[in-house]
Amino acid sequence: MPSRRRALVILGALALLSLCSIALALIVGSVAIAPAQVLSALFGDGVASEVVRNLRLPRALTGFACGGLLALAGAMLQVLLRNPLADPYVLGISGGAGVGALLAIVFGLGAASVDALAFAGALAAMLIVFGLAHGEGGWTQSRLLLTGVIVAAGCGAVVALLLAVAPDDRLRGMLFWLMGDLSQAGDPRTVLLLLLLVLLLALPFARELNLLARGADIAQALGVAVRRLRRGVYFVASLATAAAVTHAGAVGFVGLIVPHLVRLAAGNDQRLLLPASVLAGGSLLVIADTLARSVLAPQQLPVGVLTALIGVPVFLFLLGRAANGRG
């Protein structure tokens, strides 16, 4: 692990970035609020207070929690699958959530029902993948990955069917959900508590994940219960993905690029990488959502569009950097 001082500096810098991103989200929007007015708006009355306290702050905190969950899940899955291209959606969890959410929207159910069915669909996909990936002698990374891809493809077909038969007046909401949308964010306490819970569940795996990154045989020779570790990491990463997708829709690229960017600064030690990914992922999603609602204000863009526009060039840069390093 990097020296304690360096680790504290990295986490401190990312914590400061997180606070700055949330502050930016409170300031920027169709209703301009001066930085000096933000604190008074948080605790006062009036139009500015209504906008900051009831609209922007819950949305920013929900976005931070969802970004942190996606980045944490991506970091864990990249070690579990030993695949740097793994992201939280590779195992079909978001596909299951999409089926549940779109069913709720098609039948005209309320926002609470959309969230509930999305979470139920994500958990159902998680259990299906876990069950189908088992074979003689347990499951391997390749079997888990292939099963997840197949389940994701099946869910994608159901989503396409729902889009084809949905009433015209509900298509926009369905498409926004599929592209990622924080405009319906409500009380952020639930998702923030889920973020804290998932992080507390993930951190005890950090030392063993460091050993698993060297290979399953080496980890087992060093005393790691590899099968138990894989199951634990799979369920924690799936829970993180399900919670994030339920509250923000299918936001892409956060879980893929954030762990790579954090590794550039912090190295591969999971004891630092996991909490650092939470802070960086949360900051990225808050910044992307702030841009999504302000670039074409008062019209709002799906936040997934902005994360893709940010993520694609960043990922291409990382690929070019890796290619130059090998050269």
> What span, in angstroms and rounded, lies between the C-alpha atoms of 292 and 173?
16
DSSP for 34-64, please give it. Answer: -HHHHHHHHHS-SHHHHHIIIIIHHHHHHHH
Split into its structural domains, the chain has a count of 1
Q: Tell me, what CATH number does 155's domain have?
A: 1.10.3470.10
Q: Which residue range forms the structural domain that includes residue 226?
A: 4-326
Q: Which of 296, 294, 256 is nearest to 277 (CA)?
A: 256
Instruction: Kindly give the interhelix angle for 4-27 and 254-266, rounded to the nearest 10 degrees.
Output: 140
Other beta carbons less than 10 A from residue 237's beta carbon? 30
Tell me what pLDDT residue 137 has: 57
Tell me what pLDDT residue 297 has: 73
Q: Is the whole-model pTM more than 0.85?
A: yes
> What span, in angstroms and rounded, lies between the C-alpha atoms of 76 and 85?
12
DSSP symbol at 214: T
Contact 289, 303 (CB under 8 A): yes
Tell me what pLDDT residue 310 has: 86
Q: Is 139 helix (H, G, I), strand (E, B) or coil?
A: coil
**Per-residue tens of pLDDT for the chain, all 327 residues:** 567 888 899 999 999 999 999 999 998 877 778 777 877 777 777 777 888 888 889 999 999 999 999 999 999 988 888 877 778 888 888 889 899 999 999 988 888 888 889 889 988 998 888 888 876 656 677 788 888 889 999 999 999 999 999 988 888 888 888 888 887 777 899 999 999 999 999 999 999 998 888 887 888 888 888 888 888 888 899 889 989 988 888 888 898 899 988 988 888 899 999 999 999 999 999 999 999 888 877 788 889 888 988 888 888 887 777 666 655
**Alpha-helix residue ranges (DSSP H) falling in 166-269:** 168-179, 189-202, 206-212, 216-221, 226-248, 254-266
Rounded to 5°, angle at Cα 292 from 289 and 298: 125
CA 232 from centroid of its chain's CA atoms = 18
Tell me what pLDDT residue 286 has: 95
Contact 59, 186 (CB under 8 A): no
